[in-house]
Amino acid sequence: MMRTVRCIEVFCLGLLILAGGSSIAETPTIIFRLPESFSELPPTVSSSLAKEGCRIPQATIERKIVATNVISGEFAQKNQTDWAILCSKDGRSYIRVFWGGAAHCPSRIDKGRDISPEDIAQGLEFDRALGTVDKSFILQHYQAYGGPKPPTITHLGINYVYLEKASVVHFCHNDKWLELTGAD
């Protein structure tokens, strides 16, 4: 009974926040921001994210936001500014990329469940974060840990991080995403 009441409270809180136009929603374990709360996002990107129902989970440590999960960089080629956003919809996460020019890879990278029921029961926080990585980072981590050999690196990669644990680098190459070695 208590679980049902708590779920109803969280659902109602979410409805109240959405109805009130607030830019922050919260579950017991994840703090979300709505796309329109990021003034740095181009309006076309923000409105596209809102239309697809993207909520942006905030990576936290001890309930303090340490990563907003909105990044920009040259993810397909030099001198082309692209945007990558970690989105959550229906309890699942994906990286949504908006391309600033003709060079691109698929615009969505699925990442799986936001957080497991077991993690929620333990009160764990959302620990996924996006960052940018350059040639130096990619080569250092490849040399230290092995993994797939990186191609020639002329632009940035997207680092998908499990805070205080590990990461994987998504690198756009020849119109497809490569998964390269990140932090271990």
β-sheet bridge partners, residue 169? 159, 180
Per DSSP, 35 falls in state G
pLDDT digit string, tens, across residues 41-95:
999 999 999 999 999 999 988 888 999 999 999 999 999 999 999 999 998 999 9
Who has greater pLDDT, 17 or 101?
Answer: 101
What mean pLDDT is reported for the chain? 85
Residue percentage of the chain with pLDDT more than 70: 83
pLDDT digit string, tens, across residues 18-53:
434 445 554 456 889 999 999 999 999 999 999 999
Cβ-count burial of 20 within 10 angstroms (0-12 exposed, 13-18 middle, 19+ buried)? exposed
58, 31 Cβ separation under 8 angstroms: yes
Q: Distance between CA 74 and CA 21 in Å, rounded?
A: 32
Q: Strands (DSSP E) along 34-138, which ranges?
A: 56-61, 64-67, 70-73, 82-89, 92-98, 108-113, 128-133
